[in-house]
Amino acid sequence: MINEKNKIVLHFRWAVFVFSLLIGFIPSVVSAVEDVTNETLNDPHALAILEESGTVFFEEDFEDGNFNEWFDAWGPPEVLRDSRRAHTGDYSLRCLAPYEGDDSSTSSIKYWFHPGYDKVHYRFYCKFADDFNQGWGMHFCSIYAVQGDNKWGEMGKAGIKPNGDDRFGTGFEPWSSWESLPSPGRMQFYTYWHEMQPDIYDDNGDGIPDIHYWGNSFFPNPPLIPERDRWYCMEIMIKSNDAGQDNGEMAAWIDGQLYMHLKGFNWRTTNDLKLKRITLGVYIHNNPKANVVWFDDVALSSGYIGPVDALSVTDSNSQSNPSGSNSTNSPANETDSGANNGGSGGCFISTIEVSVDETATYWNSSDANVMERVLR
């Protein structure tokens, strides 16, 4: 029961909270972020600039039968020899998130490319098993800028807003919207940076607002919900801002088609903060069952990569040995990570306002405590 004294306390705490919003302790609008997807698609010159090729500095097709160049292996994943499973060649990476009594589970690896880059394209092929069902929420593949030269640095900071000089980055992942969408859910960005928006809701029903900084989500309308048991070419790009300016970008392509292009990010406060780590794999909250995702043909570049040539895919698979299905566990599993199972913790969609063109936005509330920002 809330008595008059408690009401006064609650009113005071709400007043302090609202005042903090007004004076900027919690930014109320990320006014610089802009959805320019349609603009880019309708401007051949802008699209050509966005899709300008660069230097490929890492490729992984798992044809060596291992993932020895990677680290922080959880699960661990398996490199399997079976051309019927691979996207190209004979080998692919099988990530199994095991059922562990409704606990969260993961299967993933990371790659480190210090001293890093200001712009990185990250391409990977993925296929969700025909019975894949993530339940209410999961995390997937990501790219991050990290301060310093410690490849384990800045892990395990889910729910913590970056400072601007320590880290920023995004996951590109399916989201079931609390199991309201067909599995595996819509593809969206799940993004951390120092101007991200908070989740504000009453955690425990005491009438006092609680503030969390889970990743902010960005997705188009209508979004893509991947089919299961089908290979997809996913590519994401982050372009860092110049310190002090809102000229950072983020984009995604699916099967070579531009899916989303956002501009106006103030990712960092120092130009020393570089993109230098990726994650490949799956992390599922309260995993309801054993879930498998296959990965293949990973690449990193300073420019647009695009899909593997269709002819080379056909030739590669036709020449491979369909009879093999040998499993190879990589010895790359290191344990001194200090991370929380390689996952990013809680998964809540943030309230976030961005400026877009007049045809581009609407608000959609699918949960009493969660307001989603939908980008057309």
Q: Where are the domains of the chain?
A: 1-29, 31-375
Nearest to 373, CA basis, from 221, 209, 213 = 221
Instruction: Locate 239 and state its tokens.
Output: 């372009």
Q: Kindly report the number of other CB atoms within 10 A of residue 63's CB atom.
A: 17
CATH topology of domain 31-375: Jelly Rolls (2.60.120)
Helices (H), the chain: 4-23, 37-41, 44-50, 310-319
pLDDT tens for the 376 residues of the chain, in order: 444 444 433 443 444 445 445 434 444 344 489 999 999 999 999 999 999 999 999 999 999 999 999 999 999 999 999 999 999 999 999 999 999 998 999 999 999 999 999 999 999 999 999 999 999 999 999 999 999 999 999 999 999 999 999 999 999 999 999 999 999 999 999 999 999 999 888 878 888 888 889 999 999 999 999 999 999 999 999 999 999 999 999 999 999 999 999 999 999 999 999 999 999 999 999 999 999 999 999 999 999 999 997 444 444 443 333 333 344 443 333 333 333 333 333 333 333 333 333 333 222 222 222 223 333 2
Query: Mapping DSSP to helix (H, G, I), strand (E, B) and coil, where does residue 20 land?
Result: helix
